[in-house]
A and B are shown apart, each in its own frame.
Chain A
Amino acid sequence: MAEDLVLDTAIRDWVLIPLSVVMVLIGILRYFVSKLMRSSQVPDPKIVKEGQVIVRARNLRAGANFISPKSFRARRVYFCNEENGLLHVPKGQAQNAQAQMFSDPNMAMDMMKKNLSMIIPQTLTFAWVNFFFSGFVAAKIPFPLTQRFRSMLQNGIDLSTVDVLPQFVWTEGFI
């Protein structure tokens, strides 16, 4: 089909517009649900102190030219001292961020909750759209695709060309 495809007004009125509205509403709903599910974190004293240490060290680096060399050296030793410097991390103890993520139970729970809140609405929306809106053409891709994409993009329609998108793939874009 080399000629231009024209979108039927019926499709446009009854499919595209309601679907766009539904997608936007689902996005808003997801935001509020995630806000409700987020647990309030009790600030950990160690984390607060670490944050403040970093700010102070950053100030030291930024304003190093404004204080006398002796006091700068004294502060640098305070931060980077081998035995008890605040920023000094002994070689064995430095954990990479991933190990820390899994060992901290709170953070693991938070990550799981976030992932779930993403996956479940996606699956539901996909199933719903597939049920209601299937079997007609919605968009045309400007570049040609191989036959392998046919099963992925064109569920339920038999077309000779693969550059036409049926309805539900269009919605996947919104998710």
Chain B
Amino acid sequence: MVTKTEETQLNRLENQVDNGGGGAWEYLCLVKKLKVRRPDKVLRHGLSILNDPKKRSALGPDVWTLYEQVSIAAMDCQCLDVAKDCIKVLQKQFPESKRVGRLEGILLEAKGLWAEAEKAYSSLLEDNPLDPVLHKRRVAIAKAQGNFPTAIEWLNKYLETFMADHDAWRELAEIYVSLQMYKQAAFCYEELILSQPTVPLYHLAYADVLYTLGGVENILLAKKYYASAIDLTGGKNTKALFGICLCSSAIAQLTKGRNKEDKESPELQSLAAAALEKDYKQRAPAKLLLLTSALKSLKTS
């Protein structure tokens, strides 16, 4: 996750470089370090450095990483000729290289030649069975083809070995949610919460999945996770506030028949509703009426 200082630094450098000031190389290094996705800017500024032989020689051995970065950005922007040229240069410099082989595979993917790309990755994987990037690219091929069951199978196999890779767990959770396999998605989100318990995004997503699954226990649990999401964001997360109101009304509906004592205090719902109204008054006063009527219907139902 990118921190706030890094974000401000990135924006500052971006503005500086866009408006003609120097510092393109620092910008590219920062983009690479933070792993953000800015293909058009990387392509533009990277090419400006690479096409200038003086700047190229000033970089020294870093020029090859720049070629790699620019080729990936070019493929992201679908400028496949630029990408091919960069890869050709890298191939001349580093024949028989694993990284260049990977780039060729990505180029085949970008062209849409899935079968060739898969063959290339399989042959690379035979030599390096423990390269996580190759595994993930294979999963990406399956996903891009729309072949979700294969993607899930490969991702599961990858996670059997590399089970501490939280990005992979996140990807798997999203695939499961898109396929409506909510129980499995809940498991993946639990893994994410275990590895990074202070990220409110995962709590929120887990609560959504639990609410969708339904059932009194799940909705009770979802309410707890919405509450923790509010806690982690300092009360600013509108979605979580709505979630609490919805959960409370759903629980009230489900337990209407039984005569259980009220375990959950009704304060939480009224507090959440009050916070929502305050938020809407500040940011979207036009919709305040809609909100109050919706909340009223939730309370009465």
> Residues on A close to B: CB < 8 A?
43, 45, 48-49, 51-53, 55-56, 59-60, 62-64, 66-68, 71
Interface residues of B in 146-202 (CB under 8 A from A): 160-165, 187, 190-191, 193-195, 197
Q: Quick check: A71 and B164 within 8 Å, CB to CB?
A: no
Find A55's partner among B161, B164, B197, B228 (CB 8 Å cutoff): B164
- Report 17 cross-chain contacts, Cβ distance below 8 Å, ordered by A residue: A43-B130, A48-B130, A48-B161, A49-B160, A49-B162, A52-B162, A52-B164, A55-B164, A56-B164, A56-B191, A56-B194, A56-B195, A59-B164, A60-B194, A62-B197, A66-B193, A68-B221
> Beyond A45-B130, A71-B187, is A63–B163 a contact (Cβ under 8 Å)?
no
- How far is the CB of A77 from the nearest CB of chain B, in Å? 14
Chain B interface category by residue count:
10 to 19
Note all chain B residues with C-beta closer than 8 A to A52: 161-165
- How far is the CB of A61 from the nearest CB of chain B, in Å? 9
What 14 additional pairs, Cβ within 8 angstroms, besides A56-B164, A62-B194? A45-B161, A48-B161, A49-B160, A51-B164, A52-B164, A52-B165, A55-B163, A56-B191, A56-B194, A59-B164, A59-B194, A63-B193, A64-B194, A66-B194
Chain B: which residue is nearest A44 at the CB level? B130
> Residues on B close to A: CB < 8 A?
129-130, 160-165, 187, 190-191, 193-195, 197, 221, 228
Note all chain A residues with C-beta closer than 8 A to B195: 56, 59, 63
Give the secondary structure class of B's interface.
helix
Q: State the total of A-B contacts with C-beta under 8 angstroms.
A: 46
> Beyond A48-B162, A52-B164, A59-B195, is A71–B190 a contact (Cβ under 8 Å)?
yes
- How far is the CB of A7 from the nearest CB of chain B, in Å? 48
- How far is the CB of B22 from the nearest CB of chain A, in Å? 36
Give the secondary structure class of A's interface.
helix
Closest 8 CB pairs of A and B: A55-B164, A63-B194, A52-B164, A59-B195, A66-B197, A59-B194, A63-B197, A56-B163
Find B129's partner among A45, A56, A62, A67 (CB 8 Å cutoff): A45
> Beyond A45-B130, A48-B130, is A67–B194 a contact (Cβ under 8 Å)?
yes
Note all chain A residues with C-beta closer than 8 A to B191: 56
Chain B: which residue is nearest A54 at the CB level? B164
CA gap between A67 and B186 in the complex, in Å = 11
Note all chain B residues with C-beta closer than 8 A to A63: 193-195, 197
Q: Quick check: B161 and A67 within 8 Å, CB to CB?
A: no
- How far is the CB of B235 from the nearest CB of chain A, in Å? 19
Note all chain B residues with C-beta closer than 8 A to A71: 187, 190
CA gap between A51 and B161 in the complex, in Å = 9
With a 10 A CB-CB cut-off, give which of B129, B164, B194, B228 has the most chain A CB atoms: B194
Note all chain A residues with C-beta closer than 8 A to B194: 56, 59-60, 62-64, 66-67
Chain B: which residue is nearest A68 at the CB level? B221
CA gap between A48 and B130 in the complex, in Å = 8
